[in-house]
Structure 1
Amino acid sequence: MTNKQMIDGVLIVNKPRGVTSFDVVRQVRRMFGQKKVGHAGTLDPSVAGVLVVALGKATKLIDELQTRPKRYVGEITLGFATETEDLDGAVIATRAIDIPITAAKIDIAIKSLNGSIKQMPPMYSAVKVNGRRLYDYARAGETVARPERDAMIYDFHRTSDIDFENSVQKFNFEATVSKGTYIRTLASDTGKRLDLPATMTSLTRTMGSGFTLSEAHDLLEVEKLAPDDLRQTIVPIKDILTWPTHVLSDDEWFAVRNGQKIADWEPSSFLKQLYYNDKLKAVYQYDDSEHVWRSRYVFDNQ
């Protein structure tokens, strides 16, 4: 596609296991012929599911898209733990389960991890401490104090019977969580509540930024589409936003297109989508400190 055909919007991808999130971004860049592409929330190579890829001006919304809840389904295994808290790392602890833990005890442990919690990010994660990624410390065999992080677990529950075999127990789960939540740490912490090592042994993201697997596209299929059909896979920016809308008068449009603050709109905790001539132009946010509305995102000032 040429620059005149620049695409602004999001592509919902069903990322397969075995590829990185950046691999997907690189592939989307090639398919659409544009460099301005990013994703809203990394999926580890071993994790499949919804990856929201933003193109063009929609990349401005990545910070907003990342704040929206995510939902996962997966499997937790009790009886061993790894250095990465999933199957990608070496086993660092084992404990044979001779007498199965009851479903009631497991469900109590899971329930205790619902709501507002603190998480210790895994050593094998991209969190920065003193300017270095935690995984860099881990790969160098170094240890460092990790800051606890807040996470909101909206809903975490067991979705299957509990399988007991070869001295381990396994069960499936579903979790709806906030930005920054480590599901593998949620699995590990479930084990800690039961005084057992535990590992996340499978994971799929079924919802990201409000988009579900039913809306996601297989990139191998998307690659086969003709240009006009390829554009139809894109969710336009106006369909991503959920904030109240405001139709600008001529004078208001003059102010907005020049990036001016606006003082005569009623205060609100919600952002405001601004339209002029039936086109989304910008998003404004109320500034409590100055008691004015100011620009948050600009999509079109022509």
Structure 2
Amino acid sequence: MDGILVLLKPPGMTSHDVVDAVRRLLGERRVGHTGTLDPGAAGILVICIGNATRLIPFMEDCIKGYRAEVWFGRSTDTQDAGGETVAELREFAFTDEDLLAALTVFQGEVEQIPPMVSALKHEGQRLYTLARQGKTVERKPRKVKIFQLEPVGSWRRGEWHYGDTLLFDVVCSKGTYIRTLCQDLGEYLQVPSHMSFLVRTRVGRWSLQDALTLEELAAAADEFDLKTEASSLSNLSVLIPMDVGVEHLPGAVLSKRGAERMRHGSSVPAEYVEKWLEPTDFELMGVAGDPSLTGDLIRIYDNQDRFLGIGRTSRGGAGGILRPVRLLPAESR
């Protein structure tokens, strides 16, 4: 069973909880996700199944979209509503124009200090594990990109005071912490603040309209008895072909001889390319740091349009050479 699922994670579950649930429902051990979502948040979680898990490193840089709420007047040790209060200010006022200025400042490339309640590691331990032990360690600022940051609905109040909240939409690069953005907005306005609500609305090309609930997946598993007849899932529209997850990369269709060379791990001269394919939805990647993750990477197909995996081109186009980077097992093609 190989493919991609776009799931709607409910609040209260960790991303790993969702992965475990999918494993149980589909009877498939090889399941992973392309980006963690906070336990208290809801929204899109992209799940890779079977050999699609081999493609996760090439899917992780997709842009993310969120709808979030920032609460002004109180900050917490977790930067969200579930933490302990660390600062509170009941008497303050700022204007709509002040808020718009703050939103403008945090668009484009910005630096964030990751929160302690994150999945990043420090000396082999997750930061959230250290945070639960009451420990705080130094974290280096990281550059992220915020492509869009806009208030939602009729948001203007004239003046803002203790307990007021702002609902906003944000589109950002991989690695952006929305709880930290909420805290940073408050710091810019010289007011304590925290994130009081979060839903992930978009991952790359996929939006909430594309997402499936775990209950819907369970119903499909029961109907098709997927635990014993895994191939039935390929007939369901919920399972997305593996190569769709890497369509932001250009592609190449190889001749029969070229495909055989590639399958055996050999480099393939560009003369064996029957057709070059344009990338799809490249703007949805929002590549924010490491060009080697996309750069000259390419998705590769044989002459019967079967997806072989990921390769890398040198010198590009005619006269170039294609080298295998991550090929899929023959049974998954």
Normalising by structure 1, report the TM-score: 0.89
Query: What SS class does the counterpart of residue 206 from structure 1 fall into?
Result: strand
Q: CA RMSD in A?
A: 2.3
Where in structure 2 are there 5+ consecutive unaligned residues?
225-231, 274-293
Identity value in percent: 33
Q: Are 1:162 and 1:171, in contact at CA under 8 Å, matched by a contact in 2?
A: no
CA contact (8 A) 1:39 1:54 kept: yes
Write out aligned runs for 1:258-273 (5 A). 258-264=264-270, 269-273=295-299
Aligned residues of 1:74 and 1:202 also touching (Cα < 8 A): yes
SS at match of 2:219: coil
- Tell me if 1:218 matches 2:218: no
| TM-score, normalised by the number of residues in structure 2 | 0.81
Check conservation: 1:244, 1:272, Cα contact below 8 A.
yes
Spell out, residue by residue over 1:130-154, the C-alpha distance to the aligned partner (whole angstroms, 9 max, x if none). Answer: 3322223323333321111111111
> In 2 relative to 1, CA 301–221 (structure 1 residues): closer, same or farther, beyond 3 Å?
closer
CA distance in 2, matches of 1:216, 1:25: 15
Distance 2:270 2:167 in 1: 53
Alignment partner of 2:240 out of 218, 224, 235 = 235
1:171-205 per-position Cα deviation (integer Å, ceiling 9, x unaligned): 10001011111010011000011011110100000
Q: How many Å apart are 1:264 and its aligned residue?
A: 4.0
Distance 1:157 1:74 in 2: 10
Amino acid at match of 2:165: K
Query: Structure 1, unaligned stretches of length 5 or more?
Result: 1-6
Question: Matched residue pairs, number?
Answer: 293
1:170 aligns to 2:176 (yes or no): no
| Separation in 2, partners of 1:29, 1:116 | 38
Q: Deviations over 1:215-236 (max 9, x none)?
A: 0011112211222467431011
Structure-2 residue corresponding to 1:115? 108
Distance 2:28 2:126 in 1: 29
Match of 1:53 in 2: 47
Structure 1 CA distance for aligned equivalents of residues 31 and 178 of structure 2: 26
Q: 1:250 to 1:134 in 2, by over 3 A?
A: same
Change (3 A) 1:240 1:143: closer
Alignment of 1:1-302 (within 5 A): 7-99=1-93, 101-160=94-153, 161-162=155-156, 167-225=162-220, 226-227=223-224, 228=232, 231-242=236-247, 243-264=249-270, 269-276=295-302, 277-287=304-314, 292-301=321-330
Give the superposition deviation at 1:238. 2.8
The Cα offsets for residues 35-92 of structure 1, whole Å up to 9 and x where unpaired, read as: 0001111111110010111101111121222100000001101110010000121111
Aligned CA distance change for structure 1 residues 138 and 241 (closer, same or farther; 3 Å)? closer
